[in-house]
């Protein structure tokens, strides 16, 4: 079977690790300093449940509470990775604003999303609890994961879970 093409966008406040997670997933390495203003596109073929997917990953330069949701990210995307840092309350607040704008721009009540709390290796600096993240994701009917791009913890799971959510949505649109 040919790979299915899936377009995924990484969104979130600045410095939460969007680029680090993207590069860890695509290249299998942690890059310590990456230009925060760069917007990049990566592709990677990955297999889930014996199906190959060609993932086109857009690593956005980031959003804040004042950003107008970029319209180009509302078209032709199958799913979204919304990232905050467990060390930043601010990034957790901003991700909720980004999510609301996303639904608003798309005119939908449901969009396939994985909510990601990154930087679990910095547990001494944690300011957002696992419980808070989990509750937020439940309210969105999104998947939830805590990750460390630095230690390559649960990074592949983000994309696998999102591909499954996208697949389910396509299969059972009436349930959403």
For ligand GDP, the binding residues (CB under 6 A) are 14-20, 32-34, 36, 62, 118-119, 121-122, 148-150
Binding region for Mg ion (CB under 5 A) out of 13-21, 63-71, 102-110, 129-137: 13-21
Choose the contact partner of 28 out of Mg ion, ligand GDP, none; CB within 5 to 8 A by kind.
Answer: none
The reply to whether 91 sits near Mg ion by the rule CB under 5 A is no
For 22, counting Cβ atoms within 10 Å of its Cβ (0-12 exposed, 13-18 middle, 19+ buried), the class is buried
**Closest approach of ligand GDP to the CB of residue 82, in Å:** 11
H or E element, residue 26: helix 18-27
Q: How far apart are CA 176 and CA 166, in angstroms?
A: 12
CB atoms within 10 A of CB 123: 11
Q: What mask of x and - would describe binding to Mg ion in positions 14 to 53, judged by CB under 5 A?
A: ----xx----------------------------------
- Looking at beta carbons only, is 74 or 87 nearer to ligand GDP? 87
- Closest to 102 (Cα-Cα) out of 129, 125, 83, 80: 80
Q: Hunting for tokens 């996303």 — which residue is that? A: 102
H or E element, residue 146: strand 143-146
- Looking at beta carbons only, is 17 or 79 nearer to Mg ion? 17
- Looking at beta carbons only, is 4 or 14 nearer to Mg ion? 14
Residues paired with 4 in a beta bridge: 53
* 114 Cα distance to chain centroid: 5
Task: Yes or no: say if 175 and 141 are a contact pair by the CB < 8 Å rule.
Answer: no
- Looking at beta carbons only, is 10 or 162 nearer to ligand GDP? 10
Choose the contact partner of 79 out of ligand GDP, Mg ion, none; CB within 5 to 8 A by kind.
Answer: none
Residues in contact with Mg ion by CB under 5 A are 18-19
């Amino acid at each position: 079977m040919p790979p299915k093409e899936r377009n995924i966008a990484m969104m979130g406040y600045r410095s939460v690790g969007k680029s680090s997670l993207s590069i860890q997933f695509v290249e299998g390495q942690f890059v310590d300093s990456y230009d925060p203003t760069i917007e990049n596109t990566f592709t990677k073929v990955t297999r889930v449940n014996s199906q190959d997917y060609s993932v086109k990953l857009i690593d956005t330069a980031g959003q804040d509470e004042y950003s107008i949701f970029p319209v180009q990210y509302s078209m032709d995307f199958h799913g979204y990775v919304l990232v905050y840092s467990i060390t930043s309350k601010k990034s957790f607040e901003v991700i909720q604003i980004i999510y609301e704008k996303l639904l608003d721009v798309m005119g939908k009540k449901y969009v396939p999303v994985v909510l990601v709390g990154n930087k679990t290796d910095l547990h001494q600096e944690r300011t957002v609890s696992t419980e808070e993240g989990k509750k937020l994701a439940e309210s969105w009917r999104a998947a939830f994961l805590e990750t460390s791009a630095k230690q390559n913890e649960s990074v592949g799971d983000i994309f696998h879970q999102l591909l499954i959510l996208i697949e389910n949505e396509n299969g059972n649109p009436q349930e959403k």
